[in-house]
Amino acid sequence: MYVIFFGIGLGFIVLSVLLDTLVDIEGSPFSILQPKLIAVFLLMTGAVGMILTGRWESAPFSLIFTISAFSGLFIAALINRLVIIPLRRAQNTSAHDKQATIGTIAKIISPIPQGGYGKISYSISGSTVTSPAKSEDGGEIKNGENVNIVYIEGGTYFVRRQV
C-alpha cells in the first residue's frame, strides 16, 4: 500500500511540475489542496510507511499508517510554509509594469553626462528599483537631483529635471 502512495506521489509531482496548476487557490482555505502539496503528502506518507513497515514488522497497520500520514501532512505543510508561499510572494512583487512608472519621481544615483547615460532610483509597490537613464533633452544631470520619468525606450528611462 505504501508503495502505491509513494508511486502516486512521485508521479503526481512530475505531472504537476510539467503542467503547473491552472487554478489559483492561493489564500483560500483549500490552499493545502494544491497538486504539489498533495503529491508531497502522498510521497512522504508512502516513504515513511515503507521505512516503518520494514523496521517494525510486528507493529499494527493503524499505528504505522497514522505516523506515516502525520509525517506526510507535516512535511507538506512545512514545504508550503517555507517554500511555496515565499516563492509566490517573491514572484508577485518582483515584476512591475514599466509604463506605470511614467510620471514617477526618481533620484539620480549615477550622474548623467551631457548626451550620455546615468542611473536612477525610484520606488514602486514598496520596492526600490534602479534603472539606466538618459536626459530627455540630452543635458547633464548631477548626482542626487530629483527627476521625473518621461518615457521609456528600449529599457532606458528618459528623465526630465523636476522643477
Task: Determine the average pLDDT of the residues in 11-38.
Answer: 60
> Which residue intervals of the chain bear CATH 2.40.50.140?
98-161
Residues 2 and 48: their CA atoms lie apart, in Å, by: 8
Q: What residues does 110 pair with on adjacent strands?
A: 119
Average pLDDT over residues 88-93: 59
Q: Is the pLDDT of residue 127 over 90?
A: no
Q: Give the pLDDT of residue 84.
A: 76
Using CA atoms, how far apart are residues 68 and 1, in angstroms rounded to an integer? Answer: 12
Q: Which residues pair with 149 in a beta bridge?
A: 159
pLDDT band at 32 (very low <50, low <70, confident <90, very high): low
Question: Residue 21: its pLDDT value, please?
Answer: 45
Burial 138-156 (b: 16+ CB within 10 A, else e): eeebeeeeebbbeeeeeee
Q: Indicate the angle between helix axes 2-19 and 35-55, nearest 10 degrees.
A: 160
Are the CB atoms for 107 and 128 separated by under 8 Å?
A: no
Q: What is the mean pLDDT of residues 14-24?
A: 56
- Whether the predicted pLDDT of 95 surpasses 60: no
Segment 31-57 shows an average pLDDT of: 83
pLDDT, position 31: 54
- The CATH number for 98-161, chosen from 2.40.50.140, 3.40.50.2300, 3.40.30.10, 3.90.1150.10, is 2.40.50.140
Return the top range by mean pLDDT from 20-34, 63-77, 79-93: 63-77
CA 95 to chain centre: 10
Least confident of 54-68, 82-96, 100-114: 82-96
Residue 62 has pLDDT above 80, yes or no: yes
Q: Which three cell numbers stand for residue 18?
A: 510539467
pLDDT at 29: 45
Distance CA 159, CA 128 (A): 17
**Residue 94's CB: how many other CB atoms inside 10 A?**
9
State the pLDDT at residue 111: 92
Q: The pTM is what?
A: 0.45
Q: How confident is the model at residue 74 (pLDDT cuts 50, 70, 90)?
A: very high
Burial 76-92 (b: 16+ CB within 10 A, else e): beebbeeebeeeeeeee
